[in-house]
Structure 1
Amino acid sequence: MVTHVRAEAYGDERGALLSFLAEQRGGIRRSVLGLTHEQASSRPSASELSLAGLLKHVAEVEQGWVARAKGEPPAVKRDESNWHECFTLVDGESVEQQLAYWETVAAETEAFVRSAPSLDDTFPLPDEPWFPPDEAVSVRWLVLHLIRETARHAGHADILRESLDGRTAFELVALAAAPAG
């Protein structure tokens, strides 16, 4: 369930960036360990956030950014009419399905970052009102942005999980490392 960047890749910049991203993904993945669909979809705080919704959001955001960097549209187009669906499971979606999807997205991200001729290569920011017009960012910026986005939501996930059953990140790391059986 937990994806790790190859150990021999940590020494270069790409490997270091990808390992930091993988570490943050792991925090979110572990946050849903052992939970039922109902628990993962519940909102245990005043916020509208759920663990299942955070999982879906980070996978979708990561896919969308890598697609933009490739010059492709995101798999899911979000606007005011469907933005709320970015943070909740709909139409039979499950935590397991979202974890599998994110695993695929993570592999695509790693392949893209490793295949870019240079981390300094740029791509245009989307033509959206919250981005500066005619601005471009680098592949390095992309990975740093994904680390920031994922880490922010991993922190949310820590709080939500602890609110659900008291389990902390350290306990979840131990649970993930325990042999199945």
Structure 2
Amino acid sequence: MVTHVRAEAQGDERGALLSFLAEQRGGIRRSVLGLTEEQAAARPSASELSLGGLLKHVAEVEQTWIARAKGEPPAVHRDESNWHECFVLTGDETVASQLAYWAEVAAETEAFVRAVSSLDDTFPLPDAPWFPPDERVSVRWLCLHLIRETARHAGHADIIRESLDGASAWDLVAREQAAPA
């Protein structure tokens, strides 16, 4: 669903990639529009996913990938002992705090993608059993991967939100556009 396509998308590959990523972020961001913390934590479908958990996951995954591309450690280290916390709000985390964090991550992503000398610049994939050993990927690959990851979870968010209160993605776009700025 295209709701915003920024002018940079026209003729500029970086702008196009960033616009598509922003569009998918919007689907997830809108999925929590008007919900209480309890509703955002609910798991109304057969899945164990909640909207709050999806929001946290996509923000964390995006930050982790940008950190990898920069050669930095991720903000949150995940392993088998705490992987389950990636999909649930814990402690004092709220939908609002995750939205604010994701906005910071998105700004960092945009700054990084705009600053690299080329989308063909590469960085190593992490040493993990699900990645080929000693493999490198480009910043272009990174952008496409983030779009795919976010879009996949935006679809999950659509199903969860409709299961909660019947609001479709179209309903949420209309609500967002009607909301005072």
TM-score bucket (shorter structure):
over 0.9
Structure 2 Cα separation of the partners of residues 5 and 126 of structure 1: 32
- 2:81 matched residue in structure 1: 81
Q: 3-state DSSP class of the match of 2:137?
A: strand
Structure 2 Cα separation of the partners of residues 50 and 69 of structure 1: 28
* RMSD of aligned Cα (Å): 1.3
Equivalences for 1:97-116 in 2 at 5 Å? Answer: 97-116=97-116
- 2:149 matched residue in structure 1: 149
- 2:36 matched residue in structure 1: 36
Once the two structures are TM-superposed, the CA of residue 8 in structure 1 deviates from its matched residue by: 3.6
Size of the aligned set, in residue pairs, is 178
Q: 1:108 corresponds to which letter in structure 2?
A: E
Runs of 4+ aligned residues of structure 1 deviating over 3 Å after TM superposition are: none
Q: 1:148 corresponds to which letter in structure 2?
A: R
Preserved contact between residue 5 and residue 15 of structure 1 (Cα < 8 Å) = no
Structure 1 Cα separation of the partners of residues 55 and 42 of structure 2: 13
Once the two structures are TM-superposed, the CA of residue 46 in structure 1 deviates from its matched residue by: 1.5
Q: Which runs of 5+ in 2 are unaligned?
A: none
Once the two structures are TM-superposed, the CA of residue 5 in structure 1 deviates from its matched residue by: 7.4
Q: 1:87 corresponds to which letter in structure 2?
A: F
Structure 1 Cα separation of the partners of residues 135 and 170 of structure 2: 40
Matched, 1:124 2:124: yes
Structure 1 Cα separation of the partners of residues 10 and 62 of structure 2: 21
Q: 1:101 corresponds to which letter in structure 2?
A: Y
- 1:159 matched residue in structure 2: 159
Q: 1:47 corresponds to which letter in structure 2?
A: S
Preserved contact between residue 69 and residue 139 of structure 1 (Cα < 8 Å) = yes
Q: 3-state DSSP class of the match of 1:44?
A: coil
Q: 1:20 corresponds to which letter in structure 2?
A: F
Deviations 1:53-88 (A, max 9, x none): 000000000000000000001100100000000000
Structure 2 Cα separation of the partners of residues 126 and 5 of structure 1: 32
Structure 2 length as normaliser, TM-score? 0.95
Q: 1:127 corresponds to which letter in structure 2?
A: D
Identity of paired residues, percent?
Answer: 81
Preserved contact between residue 8 and residue 16 of structure 2 (Cα < 8 Å) = no
Once the two structures are TM-superposed, the CA of residue 11 in structure 1 deviates from its matched residue by: 2.4
Q: 1:158 corresponds to which letter in structure 2?
A: D
Structure 1 length as normaliser, TM-score? 0.95
